[in-house]
Amino acid sequence: MTEPEILTRVENGVGRITLNRPKALHALNLGMCEIMTAALLDWRDDDAVRSVLIDHAGERGFCAGGDIRMIAESGATDAVEAKAFFHAEYRLNHLLFTWPKPVTAIVDGIVMGGGVGISEPAGVRVATERTTYAMPETGIGLFPDVGGSWFLPRLPGETGTWLALTGARLKAADTVALGIHTHFVLSAQVNALKAALLSDGPEAVGAQAGDAGPAPLAPHREAIDRLFAHDRVEDIVAALEADGSDWALPQLAILKTKSPQSLKVTLRQLRLGRGMTDFAEAMAMEYRLGGRVVRTHDFQEGVRAVIVDKDNAPQWSPATLGEVDDAAIEALFAPLPDGEEWTPLS
């Protein structure tokens, strides 16, 4: 008997969703998204369910993202399976974002990509000293989806732009300081926190929370806001080159390893998302992008280099920012034909 990849149950008025695919770092697939969605819909109008708690089984992290191998294999053909996954995943993201009752997510360990998408909509987001947060998609020719176009531009200053373009990894002191996560609890206290949640509800988190410590990113916030404020990736690169500091030059070196196409898609996505007033609008944009980007050379090559062959030497095409065709980027954002656009659950 194989264990279910998502465990759902109600305990003392708390609807519990536990990710249960530890060998894959709880990477999300279509079935997992559908199970979570069904549970949330069942509980939405159930007066016996007062709140929701999302956590994970095992010690290896909360959720490392989506099932990238499946997405790449689908994108190499007709992308039908990949688009079905995105459609369901983004509906789940939107359902959580609009869910009418309190949601708590405990992100004890790695939280990237799809894991961000199911934790960031929660009103209470608890990190531990084991938390590592990142949106690393530009390194595999993708873009920060699952609501990244909504959440990242709403972080302080240009920190979201910096995170999205570089794929930087943050620990809890920085994620709490930026508001990515709302509370910090030592991993040794997580079980006690869950018991308090089940007994007293989400308001118990504040009493259990502690200090995550000083934020290592704090000294660089001014530089981030200044250097990453531009609306063209070329201008960000030029600003980093001109600055030439011991912090700016490593950021420049990181950007030069990323897919030029993905950098341009991502910056445009974030700038558009910043002006949106409806989370569903952001998800519709990301769905347009997702079904198209997974069929591009850079996504296929990025997955080969980072996940399949693991040589970490992707050959991007176009190879430079200057060679990326603006019309090709524009086409990735274009509306879909009638009947093919993403829509939220009613």
The pLDDT value given to residue 246: 97
137 catalytic per annotation: yes
211 is catalytic: no
Rounded-to-integer distance, Cα 251 and Cα 227, Å: 10
- The highest-level CATH class for domain 6-333 is alpha beta
Residue % of the chain over a pLDDT of 90 = 95
Tens digits of per-residue pLDDT, 273-327?
999 999 999 999 999 999 999 999 999 999 999 999 999 999 999 999 999 999 9
Interatomic CA distance for residues 193 and 106, integer angstroms: 10
Quote the CA–CA distance of 309 and 325 in Å, as a whole number.
Answer: 28
The whole-angstrom distance between residue 291's C-alpha and the CA centroid of its chain comes to 17
pLDDT at 202: 85
* In the chain, where the domains are located: 6-333
User: Which one is catalytic: 67, 108, 145, 174?
Assistant: 145
139 is catalytic: no
Per-residue pLDDT at 101 exceeds 70? yes
Predicted structure pTM score: 0.96
Tell me the pLDDT tens digit for each residue of 137-183.
999 999 999 999 999 999 999 999 999 999 999 999 999 999 999 99
129 is catalytic: no
User: Residue 1's pLDDT is what?
Assistant: 63
Q: Select which of 15, 61, 65, 66 is catalytic.
A: 66
- Closest listed residue to residue 68, CA positions, set 121, 119, 27, 8: 27
Q: Which of 108, 137, 174, 286 is catalytic?
A: 137
Task: Say if residues 5 and 32 touch (Cβ distance below 8 Å).
Answer: yes
237: CB partners within 8 A, 6+ apart = 252, 255, 321
Give CA–CA dist 139/260, Å, rounded: 10
**Confidence check: pLDDT of 2 > 90:** no
Mean pLDDT of 182-204: 94
The stretch 200-209 carries a mean pLDDT of 88
d(C-alpha 174, C-alpha 171), whole Å: 6
114, 115, 148, 291: which is the annotated catalytic residue? 114
Go through the chain and tell me how many residues it has.
Answer: 346
Q: What is the pLDDT of residues 58-88, one digit of tens each?
A: 888 999 999 999 999 999 999 999 999 999 9
Residue 221 has pLDDT above 90, yes or no: yes
Instruction: Name the average pLDDT for the chain.
Output: 96
